Amino acid sequence: MRLLVLTHAFPPSTHANAKRPHYLVRGFLDEGWEVDVITSTLGVHRGDAETLSHPRLRITRFDEPADALRRKLSSWPRLMRWTGLAMAGLLWPDERVLWSRRALSAVQSAGNYDRTLVFVRPASLLLAARRGLIQPTWAFDFQEPILLT
């Protein structure tokens, strides 16, 4: 069985939301699944080795344009703040939409999977519906408790 995992943070990322996808992928690998992970470089430092390696695991990382811009502007805090505010105001539905578009383009060209697991952090991954990608084999994990009233 083949599984595709879309997640914004995956170890060795130090981001808090990286743990849950890691444990799920490890569980699927233990059960004999072939797993492809599409993720970002969020919280991963240059030279960090992948924390999970397996013959049936393939990890693809795409740079996050918003984080790359923040790193470049880190010496100018005021400019970094204004740029962050501008990105938050101009990019819809969140500032990770550029990464999400690239990840969803990779999904379109990736081929067929038995299941696709999407971690909805960032929320812009929900734009997969606008591209007509969502199939009955897709599952969404919101990674946090939500309350619908």
In angstroms, how far is CA 54 from the centroid of its own chain?
A: 20
When pLDDT is cut at 50, 70 and 90, the band that residue 148 belongs to is low
Could you give phi then psi for residue 17, rounded to 5 degrees? -80, 10
pLDDT tens profile 66-83: 877 877 888 999 988 898
Residue type, 18: A
CB neighbour list of residue 33: distance below 8 Å, 6 or more residues apart = 1, 2, 3, 56
Report the predicted TM-score, pTM, of the whole model to 2 decimal places.
Answer: 0.85
* Residue 144 in this model has a pLDDT that exceeds 60: yes
pLDDT tens profile 31-68: 999 999 999 988 887 778 888 999 999 999 998 888 77
**What per-residue confidence (pLDDT) applies to 90?**
82
Q: Where are the beta strands (DSSP E) in the chain?
A: 2-6, 34-40, 57-62, 115-119, 138-141
User: Considering Cα of 19, then 23, then 29, then 30, what sign does the dihedral take?
Assistant: positive
CB neighbour list of residue 31: distance below 8 Å, 6 or more residues apart = none
Rounded to an integer, what distance in angstroms lies between the CA atom of residue 139 and that of residue 43?
A: 25
